[in-house]
Amino acid sequence: MKRLLSLSTLYPAPGRTGFGRFVARQMEALAARGDWEVTVINPIGMPPLPLKRYASLRAIPALETQGALTIHHPRFTLLPAISGPINPALIARAVMPLAKKLHAEMPFDMVDAQFFYPDGPAAAAIARALGLPLAIKARGSDIHLWGANTLARRQMLAAARQATALLAVSSALARDMSAMGMPEASTHVHYTGLDRERFQPLERKAARQLVSAIPALHVWSTGPLLLCVGALVPIKGQAIAIRALTHLPPDVRLAIAGTGADEASLKALTAQLGLESRVQFLGAVEHDLLPQLLCAADAMVLPSEREGLANAWIEAIACGTPVIIPDIGGAREVVQNAAAGRIVERTPEAIAKAVADLLANPPSQQSVSANAERFSWSANAEALATIYEKAAAKH
């Protein structure tokens, strides 16, 4: 059995169990195979002053076990909105003693980073210190956002040149990485996984009645239903989805699942447009309720500014719910036919037109769901193990 040390700044922990859940599922699936033992280091940034919005992070334990995984939560000092370009160095300095201690106790065979920034350059420093091969995964915003920052870009390219394997969540993202100057020969497309037992079609009317009866949701029981799933931040584009309602019949409603800094402004926009009776803010939806909510919707609308290949796209399609998304990241790798949904411009008018088209010509849930058959956590883990085996053998 080989041993992997995985660095991820986004990972579930007590008090924020949904934070980076897709990373945890990938690591759990890899560990479940039996050929890789996985140890995760989840660095938690804390400001030097006791700011209120970081208070809950203090309760996260330094060490915990999640199934077969051992998770370490060391702290590193960050300066909110300031230290972004130097966060990799801050993380590496804080994590290095722990990484060396763990490696001395029982040597690792490989180091990986679950995001290209800030995780990638920090993991590169750790891999160099331990003399181990390195893999870095790109997921979208880490390339598109931080790649535009000169100092971050320089660190990312240096880490990419050091890495034995680079992973991208879509072919489109792999092309963006190549255009940025990252070595194409070592880049592998590694699609997200999917919990196929949870995300599968439940007859829409039955799902709608179910979620309308759950007190935590209380979604409207009748009329066409659109759904947005994602953090309430500007790049997700919920404001565009809200504005699209002004171009649709009054019986079409929108449920928004998620929390974030943009919540107040989105609610203000809803009131400004007189749409309070047509837009519902669900807040954070429990993980176990999300499949039923997705099945209940006639379409999932997510007008993001940028994505690699969003888990929300795959989860919606697996539930038989078509998606309406912009031509970003791996959108064309997911929406490969009309049953899967529509790829549109990021405008309220374009979204409204796509909604009207899908409501007039609804695909069967089974035909939508068929587009997700290639996604599973077992396939994800198998591909990851193969990539890592080859990378470790090259070192």
pLDDT digits (tens, 9 = 90+) for 172-196: 999 999 999 999 999 999 999 999 8
Partnered with residue 253 across adjacent β-strands are: 225
Contacts 24+ apart (CB under 8 A), 259-266: 259/231, 259/232, 259/283, 259/284, 260/231, 260/232, 260/233, 261/232, 261/233, 262/232, 262/233, 262/234, 262/236, 262/238, 263/232, 265/239, 266/232, 266/238, 266/239, 266/242
Q: pLDDT of 97-153, one tens digit each?
A: 999 999 999 999 999 999 999 999 999 999 999 999 999 999 988 998 899 999 999
CB-CB contact of 330 with 172 (8 Å): yes
- Summarised one tens digit per residue, pLDDT across range 56-73 is 888 899 999 988 899 999
257 DSSP β-pair partners: 229, 283
Q: Domain 2-193+376-394 belongs to what architecture?
A: 3-Layer(aba) Sandwich (3.40)
Q: Which among 57, 43, 10 has a CA at the least distance from the CA of 126?
A: 43
Closest CA to 311 of 230, 201, 373, 387: 230
Amino acid at 329: G
Superfamily of domain 204-372: Glycogen Phosphorylase B; (3.40.50.2000)
Give pLDDT, residue 50.
83
Beta-sheet pairing, 63-66 with 134-138: unpaired
Helix/strand/coil for 3: strand
10 pLDDT more than 80: yes
Closest by alpha carbon to 306, among 156, 177, 145? 145
Residue 189: its pLDDT value, please?
95
> For the whole model, what pTM was predicted?
0.86
Return the pLDDT at 365.
Answer: 97
Distance CA 178, CA 172 (A): 10
What residues form DSSP beta bridges with 279? Answer: 254
Res. 393 pLDDT band, cuts 50 70 90: confident
| Predicted pLDDT at 308 | 86
Distance CA 384, CA 165 (A): 11
What residue type is assigned to position 114 of the chain?
A: Q
- The values of phi and psi at residue 66, to 5°, are -120, 100
- The secondary structure element, H or E, covering residue 21 is helix 21-32
Residue 166 has pLDDT above 90, yes or no: yes
Lay out the sheet containing 134-138: strands in order across: 63-66, 69-72, 36-41, 2-7, 110-113, 134-138, 165-168, 187-189
Render pLDDT for 287-330 as a digit per residue (tens, 0 to 9).
889 999 999 999 999 999 988 889 899 999 999 999 999 999 89
Beta bridge partners of 227: 255, 300
DSSP secondary structure string for all residues of 71-93? EE--EEE--TTTSGGGHHHHHHH
Residues of each domain in the chain carrying CATH 3.40.50.2000: 2-193+376-394, 204-372
